Amino acid sequence: MKKIIFILLSLCLLFSCQKYEVVMPDTSMWNMYNDPATLPLNPAARAAMEGVYSLSRGNDVFGDLAAVKWSHIIQGSDTIFHVSGFFGKDIAYFICEGKQLNGAILFNGYWRKMVSTETGIIHLTIGAGDGAGLLLDPHPVIDSGKITINGLFGSGQEAPNRVITLSYIRKLNRDPAAFQIAAHRSGGRTSDLLPVSENSVAMILKTPEFGSTGVEVDVRYTKDGVPILYHDNTLNLREIQKSGLVGPIENYTYDQLSTFVRLVHGEKIPTLREALDAVVYQTQLSFVWLDTKYTGSIAPVHVIQQEYIQKAAAIGRTVDIVIGLPERDQFNQFLELPDYINTPSLCELGVTEVEQINANIWAPRFTEGTQNELVADEHLKGRKVYVWTIDEPAFIASFINEGHFDGMLSNFPSCIAYNYYVHQ
């Protein structure tokens, strides 16, 4: 009897595991959107429809307001545009592609809540009389109430069947370039059940859809000294697929990692060069925080940093690539760079250290509070101040509404985007 009980208990334990996952809905089934007569939207229409919208239907699921914003990436010779809607409830958002058809504007995509695994398909339409006519004008002028977006959304793979209605209220608040929405781990965490892996090139290309204007990436060295993106101390199943390789990532050469290891969603562990290539040449991201996860010389990373600042400038872009200094060890290594005083850096230590190395950015931890007086002092010295890492929506709102920061780091950039763009 005891043996049977033991075996039953063992079986219960074995089968009690519940794997949480978000199955990305198939958004290819909307016949109207797939109509061959659809045309791409023009840039003026995309820019004009960005703004703050109120929700009159669907607000029980998404909240009362939405910030709607476009982003794009470059893939080969193509430019791929997405429109994102950031909501105030449960860190919800939608991400859609857009087209025009017979004078109407269609948006097809999915919605997701970051506080849960809830997701589904969303179809949105701006009818010709609901503002599409204005938006498709070569020089659209949009006022409050001039655009109404109607649509349906569903749960999971089911056909959309619940109504959502958004009405344009006003432009997005503030100059989007004035505040850095920085996404953690190159755009988001694998543990948040995103469709791509953290610290991957795919995530860098995905994160603009979440509203990010910059990224923080975690830099480590391989055994043969190649700077790569990887967060944890060791190879583990939180970040990679099962490979048989265990232990510190610094034990392996880049060749070995490239041959045997894949991130959770199948991507290769990228080199820092591959990551910066994606940022500079494929996105409009304007800020990269190279978080120093290694101990040892910063010189190899410094060389790459300088190279990509120049590459960005050569194509007419300004990308602030800064070396992050989280602790005293890295700070001391930074002091060994011959021109550290002119090297763009972000320092998480106190203002004394920040001023000692002439850091471009001071990055205090959010638990220190808004520190408005210190922030104002650093502003007077020409320095920016970014706060990290805030994931709680109430704190994000509070720091945006009450603080004077120039940027914020979060695993939920869509939550920052909502609060920043909606804030008056």
Q: Can you give the binding site for other proteins, defined by CB under 8 A?
A: 2-3, 6-7, 10, 13-14, 17, 19, 234-237, 241-248, 251-252, 255-256, 259-262, 266
- Which residue's CB is nearer to other proteins, number 20 or number 367? 20
Residue whose entry in the numeric block shows the structure tokens 């020089």 = 139
Shortest spacing between CB 222 and other proteins, in angstroms = 13
> Which CB sits closer to other proteins, 57 or 262?
262
> For 270, what's the count of Cα atoms within 13 Å in the CB-facing half-sphere?
23
Q: Which is nearer to other proteins, 248 or 350 (CB)?
A: 248
> For other proteins, which is the closer residue by CB, 76 or 244?
244
CB count, 10 Å around CB of 80? 13
- Supply the minimum distance, in Å, between the C-beta of residue 255 and other proteins: 7
What is the smallest separation between the CB atom of 197 and other proteins, expressed in angstroms?
Answer: 13
Helix, strand or coil for residue 251?
A: helix
Residue 225 vs 350, nearer CB to other proteins? 225
Of 152, 166, 183, 204, which Cα lies nearest the Cα of 68? 166
**Could you give the C-alpha distances from 29 to 16, 160, 292, in angstroms and in order?**
35, 11, 44
CB of 268 to other proteins, least distance (A): 9
- Residue closer to other proteins, measured from CB, 10 or 144: 10
- Between CA 20 and CA 115 the distance in angstroms is 12
Could you write out the DSSP letters of every residue in 133-169? HHHTSSS----TTS-EEEEEE-SBTSPP-EEEEEEEE
Q: Quick one: 6 or 332, whose CB is closer to other proteins?
A: 6
Residue 254 or 395: which CB sits closer to other proteins? 254
Q: Is 94 exposed, middle or buried (0-12, 13-18, 19+ CB in 10 A)?
A: buried
Q: How far is the CB of 252 from other proteins (least distance, A)?
A: 7
Instruction: Give whichever of 139 and 242 is closer to other proteins, judged by the CB atom.
Output: 242
Among residues 366, 291, 297, the alpha carbon closest in space to that of 326 is found at: 291
Strand duo 119-126 + 104-113: pairing: antiparallel
Q: Is 422 helix (H, G, I), strand (E, B) or coil?
A: helix
Q: Between 20 and 373, name the residue whose CB sits nearer to other proteins.
A: 20
Q: How far is the CB of 22 from other proteins (least distance, A)?
A: 16
Q: What's the min distance (Å) between Cβ of 165 and other proteins?
A: 41
Minimum CB separation of residue 173 from other proteins in Å reads 43
- Closest distance between other proteins and the C-beta of residue 11, in Å? 9
- Candidates 327, 320, 328; CA nearest to 344 is 320
Q: How many CA atoms lie within 13 A of 303 on its CB side?
A: 5
Q: To 5 degrees, how large is the angle CA 38–CA 43–CA 45?
A: 70
Q: How many other C-beta atoms lie within 10 A of the C-beta of residue 237?
A: 10
Using the structure block, give the residue that is written with the tokens 């791509």.
196
Given a contact cutoff of 8 angstroms between Cβ atoms, the answer to whether 322 and 288 are in contact is yes
| CB contact set of 357 (below 8 Å; sequence gap of 6+) | 325, 331, 334, 335, 340, 341, 345, 347
* H-type alpha helices, 84-241: 132-135, 201-206
The distance of closest approach from Cβ of residue 271 to other proteins in the complex, given in angstroms and rounded to an integer, is 17
Nearer to other proteins, 14 or 314 (CB): 14
Residue 192 contacts by C-beta under 8 Å, 6 or more apart in sequence? 114, 411, 412
CB of 281 to other proteins, least distance (A): 24
